[in-house]
């Protein structure tokens, strides 16, 4: 998934800092979206996944107009209904912007929404 950093994606706009660079919360949201896509083959028709843990290191600033590609590898580790994804973000020059892991749990959509976990 490719993203271009806009003013709305900056730390200043999201309140997570005072500078006009890609905000860590926005970066994590992009990485989580990549894990949702990567998890799709591991869910049944009445299932979805929900995020349960995020361990991400944001290593490099990306200014407004910069491009970032986010990826989530196939699940590695985890047990049963837990899926753990290695995630990465790189800029247009191929430099590492972020890396880490995001864990998702497979849930029955209806039961989850009814609060019957």
Residues serving a catalytic function are 24, 32, 58
Specify whether the CB–CB gap between 91 and 97 falls below 8 A.
Answer: yes
Q: Which of 1, 13, 2 is nearest to 67 (CA)?
A: 2
Cross-sheet strand order for the sheet of 96-108: 2-4, 67-72, 82-91, 96-108, 47-58
* Rounded-to-integer distance, Cα 21 and Cα 60, Å: 10
Alpha carbon 89 to its chain centroid, in Å, reads 9
H/E run at residue 37: helix 24-39
């Amino acid at each position: 998934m490719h993203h271009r950093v806009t003013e709305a994606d900056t730390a200043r706009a999201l309140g997570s800092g005072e500078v006009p660079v890609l905000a860590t919360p926005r970066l994590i949201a992009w990485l989580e979206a990549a894990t949702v896509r990567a998890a799709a083959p591991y869910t049944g028709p009445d299932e979805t996944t929900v995020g349960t843990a995020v361990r991400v290191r944001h290593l490099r600033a990306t200014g407004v107009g910069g491009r970032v590609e986010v990826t989530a590898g196939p699940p590695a580790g985890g047990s049963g209904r837990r899926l753990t994804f290695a995630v990465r973000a790189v800029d247009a020059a191929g430099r590492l912007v972020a890396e880490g892991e995001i864990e998702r749990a497979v849930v029955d959509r209806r039961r989850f929404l009814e609060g019957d976990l």
